[in-house]
Amino acid sequence: MFLGLGIALGIGLSLTTLLIMSAVNRDLGERNVRLHLAEVKGPVQDRLLNSPLWTALSGDVFLSVNEAFETLGRLGPAAKAPQRDVSCT
């Protein structure tokens, strides 16, 4: 199973938001559900790339919700999406 979230925050991610998202990612992982993110851009992307959540994220980060929908729908819930480039900026 997987869960996708579109991130659209104009002011960036707060520490509280990162902590909550990390806890959700961990809890979902314990239930064999991967958390995927979409529409992560600008200051939100910068903050995410420099957080422990980025390396711990059980799913992938997609440029758009449509890309996530198409990729994950094609792969099915049991398949793993392609690895994300952890060095991107």
Total length of the chain: 89
Confidence (pLDDT) at 45? 83
Question: What pLDDT is recorded for position 10?
Answer: 46
Is 53 inside any structural domain? Answer: yes
Is pLDDT of 48 > 60?
yes
User: Does residue 86 fall inside a structural domain?
Assistant: no
Q: Which has the higher per-residue pLDDT, 13 or 31?
A: 31
CB 60 within 8 A of CB 28: no
Q: How many structural domains comprise the chain?
A: 1
Residue 44 has what DSSP assignment?
H
Within-domain flag for 84: no
CA triple 56-22-54, angle to 5 deg: 35
7 inside domain: yes
The answer to whether residue 26 sits within a structural domain is yes
Residue 26 has pLDDT above 90, yes or no: yes
pLDDT at 87: 43
Residue 89 belongs to some domain of the structure: no
For the cut 90, the answer to whether the pLDDT of residue 27 exceeds it is yes
* Residues spanned by the domain of 32: 2-75
CB 18 within 8 A of CB 63: no
- DSSP helix/strand/coil, 2: strand
- Residue 67 lies inside a defined structural domain of this protein: yes
Identify residue 42 by its one-letter amino acid code: G
- The model's confidence at residue 7, banded by pLDDT at 50, 70 and 90, is low
Mean pLDDT of the chain: 76
pLDDT for residue 4 is more than 90: no
